[in-house]
Structure 1
Amino acid sequence: MSRDRYVDFLRAWAIVLVVLGHWLITALVREPDGRITAPELLATVPWTQWLTLAFQIMPLFFLAGGHAAGGSWSRARAAGGTAAGWLGRRALRLLLPVGVYSSLVLLAVGICSVAGVDAGTLALVGWAMAMQFWFLPVYLLLSALTPALHAAHRRWGLRVPPLMGAVALVADALVVTVHAPYVGLLDYVLVWGVAYQLGFCWRDGLLTGRRLVPLGMAAGGGAAFAALVALGPFPVSLILVTGQNPSNTDPPSAAMLAWVVAQAGLCLLAAPPVRRLLERDRAWRVVRPVGAASMTLYLWHMLPVLAVAAAFYLTGLAPEPPLGSAAWWGLRVPWLLVLGVVLAGVVSALGPLERGLAVLYERTSPDAGLRRAWPLWLGLAMSVAALGRLAVRGFAPDGRLPVLPAVGLALGTALVMLTGWSSARRLEQPEAGRAPERV
């Protein structure tokens, strides 16, 4: 099956908006004592919370991810592959770059700690470098559940997403009414899982046979979101704001579920004209490199903020008009341009490392028919737990190294790699009493 350019476009578009959104709301202030603080724009200038409706694009990640995973798992099953082999390859593709990124950030945190950097500053920097990690454990969990979710899709089709959504609404009601935080953890898988499951339905044509289906999703989801914000307890912000309770993202709320459905519907409505545009080589040449570098952009996009802060704010060179003023918004344009130039340099500098990781992936990715998989499942569980902890507390909680999450991520990634290395070794070994085949 030929690659769907529109799915790749969604990934590229989503990553661009994530990067721009994080950069846009990042505000830096140099205090009289020389410290750099980062006031929360969404809390300080409340009207900016409406901007999150344009920049909360994560439903597209999961929708496109479900579309791609449905096709990949179907092909693996048809070729005789196992769930463990399929999952191991997908997990390792994420864990290798995440492991390298985390190792370098933790090394920098350790050096800064020894050098006597202020603990508060170190904690802020460590949080900024891990703020995007929440996506990774959720995506890994959905990947691990893909064989079961896709089996449910093959049997019940369009009935699965509404059922998942109904369970998510019950869980969210418990979170809002009786404050059951651990029940809310289910919504990370259920709400984002609805978008993922809709990706299966989209790929198999269940959502695109009639134009009324995506139109109903967009209108119904949008109306439900508006009602939940206007009449219910939910805020308009689709990004976490300190002090807001309930939040739409921590855990994902009923309002976020409505936004998932609305955004998926809009995405399906936009597909035909955008696909026609992507058939032009000039448009595809712009989209393709962004999609290819999406993981690098996602992981490293806050590093330019730190570099610019050190170059312009620590030195006192950056102008600092009042937060949210017309002058402050005017300076967002050069701010975004400078960050874009720095990020382009970072991506270019990481090129050799990315190529090395590609070679390592080919040598350590599990065999498609992997069956002895307990190290894989253990490694995946350790990695998910470690990434979740880093996402919540950052790389320098209270200015200290997060030893347990760091060790957990390292061991988890190593176990997944070991699974792949062991399966490759078994393939290289000839069966007893049989000469190896000549190539």
Structure 2
Amino acid sequence: MSWTSRIAAATPAHRDRTIDALRAVAIVGVILGHWLVSAVVSDPDRPAAWEGASPLSGSPALVPATWVLQTLGLFFFAGGYSSARSLGGKPYRPWLTARLTRLARPVAVLAAVWVPTMLLLRLTGVPESTRHVVQSLITHPMWFLLVYVLLTALTPLLRKVGLWSVVPLVALVALSDVSRWNGLVAPVGWAVPYLLGIALAEGRLHRRAGAILAPAGVVAGAVLVLGLGYPASAVGVPGDGWSNLNPPTLFALALAAAQIGVFLLLRPRLAGWLQRPAVWAPVVMLNLGAMTLFCWHQSALLLVTAGGLAAGPLPGLLDAPDGAWPLYRLVWLPVFAVVLAGLWSVFRRWETGDRRASARVRAVEDMHTGGEALKVGVGDGQR
């Protein structure tokens, strides 16, 4: 029996494969999105001096890609579902400790590598602008984990308040948009898709809701951008002065609603596709190391970028993100992916706390034991 067939056969019948697939899509979207917009520009006179830039600043035609690749709403939706399913009637404290430990381990390993590395860069005289770029690329993707930890801790309360609490939360986000509050309102915004995930786990969100959420999200997003002046990009663009992600705006919630609505509509067909071992096995592998992939994906970009210094500013690497830069950048994506796969193979073992077994064997063993029933990164559980 092939390893894909073994994984498929070992998967518990009660597991909702569509949520795992959604999480896999979300992690791939975040990684590709960061790789495509995180331009590192080298000073021609001082190649070791880097500056950060974004191709979105000079190429508005690329903005629609952000609507597909900005998938944080799907992350929180899958997280709400998994938290509600895994909590069930379990004691709260050990449940929360287990989930936060699973989140903390890969982050701690990342810090153990990069904190001394940043100190070494300072001691060896690396330009300050370069150190700023490196620190920004490594740390900025981590902000959402703080929000996720807070929402995870509040899961019992969020289960009690119910789906109707989405209405006042959306109103608070609207108030934030008007007053331009700071990022402290972020937990309020991302609690909306998190609550929808909880509702799905408890059988209160059905496929027919997708027929409402998808078009409502599209229409609301169009009104916000075309009628109310919201930024069209789903991610921050240098120089815009207003980002749909910091904190999440009504546009971010509209995008999340549209994406979740599409998922609900496609869910029955997706469930059928995921019964095929060749489709299901890659989803398992992505979920088993989701946090490791997330933590190290920008490190992969930086390693490739540093390696390119010897050759000078190659197209799509270390050059200004204008003209045909996005097309050249696509050529570098497989290189980033290979390096990330290497980092994943080294560091994934710390995500589950098992340093002996390989990812593939561990995946099969986890599902055969039935104890943890397929451990996954941010949203493990679904027991």
Q: How does 1:173-322 map to 2 (within 5 A)?
A: 173-175=178-180, 180-181=181-182, 185-186=184-185, 188-208=186-206, 211=208, 213-316=209-312, 318-319=314-315
- What RMSD over aligned residues (CA atoms) do the two structures have, in Å? 2.0
Q: Which letter does structure 2 place at the counterpart of 1:279?
A: Q
2:50 and 2:133 in contact (8 A); partners too:
no
2:349 and 2:355 in contact (8 A); partners too:
no
- Give the ranges of 4+ consecutive aligned residues of structure 1 lying more than 6 Å apart after TM superposition: none
In structure 2, the gaps of 5 or more residues are 1-12, 357-383
Cα distance 1:71–1:354, how it changes in 2: closer, same or farther (>3 A)? closer
1:129 has 2:138 as partner: yes
1:241 and 1:247 in contact (8 A); partners too:
yes
| Alpha-carbon distance in structure 2 between the residues aligned to 1:147 and 1:46 | 42
Equivalent of 2:66 in 29, 36, 52: 52
Which structure: larger Rg? 1
Cα distance 1:159–1:353, how it changes in 2: closer, same or farther (>3 A)? closer
| Alpha-carbon distance in structure 2 between the residues aligned to 1:58 and 1:43 | 22
Q: Which letter does structure 2 place at the counterpart of 1:113?
A: R
How far has the Cα of 1:162 moved from its partner? Answer: 2.2
In structure 1, the gaps of 5 or more residues are 360-439
1:233 and 1:246 in contact (8 A); partners too:
no
Alignment correspondent of 2:170: 165
Q: Which letter does structure 2 place at the counterpart of 1:102?
A: A
1:29 and 1:313 in contact (8 A); partners too:
no
1:328-383 per-residue CA deviation (whole Å, 9 max, x = no partner) reads 33322320111111111111222554564679xxxxxxxxxxxxxxxxxxxxxxxx
1:11 and 1:61 in contact (8 A); partners too:
yes
2:53 and 2:238 in contact (8 A); partners too:
no
| Alpha-carbon distance in structure 2 between the residues aligned to 1:322 and 1:358 | 41
1:70 has 2:68 as partner: no
1:218 and 1:264 in contact (8 A); partners too:
yes
| Alpha-carbon distance in structure 1 between the residues aligned to 2:175 and 2:50 | 42
How far has the Cα of 1:295 moved from its partner? Answer: 0.5
How far has the Cα of 1:233 moved from its partner? Answer: 2.5
Alignment correspondent of 1:100: 109
TM-score (norm 1): 0.73
Alignment correspondent of 1:345: 342
Cα distance 1:303–1:217, how it changes in 2: closer, same or farther (>3 A)? same
2:37 and 2:55 in contact (8 A); partners too:
yes
Give the length in aligned residue pairs.
340
| Alpha-carbon distance in structure 2 between the residues aligned to 1:24 and 1:222 | 24
| Alpha-carbon distance in structure 2 between the residues aligned to 1:219 and 1:267 | 13
Cα distance 1:312–1:140, how it changes in 2: closer, same or farther (>3 A)? same
| Alpha-carbon distance in structure 2 between the residues aligned to 1:323 and 1:132 | 21
Alignment correspondent of 1:383: none
Alignment correspondent of 2:93: 84
Q: Which letter does structure 2 place at the counterpart of 1:5?
A: R
Give the fraction of aligned pairs with identical amino acids, expressed as a percent: 35
| Alpha-carbon distance in structure 1 between the residues aligned to 2:95 and 2:351 | 22
| Alpha-carbon distance in structure 1 between the residues aligned to 2:353 and 2:85 | 27
TM-score (norm 2): 0.83
How far has the Cα of 1:214 moved from its partner? Answer: 1.3
| Alpha-carbon distance in structure 2 between the residues aligned to 1:146 and 1:343 | 32
1:71 and 1:203 in contact (8 A); partners too:
yes
1:224 and 1:255 in contact (8 A); partners too:
yes
Alignment correspondent of 2:19: 7
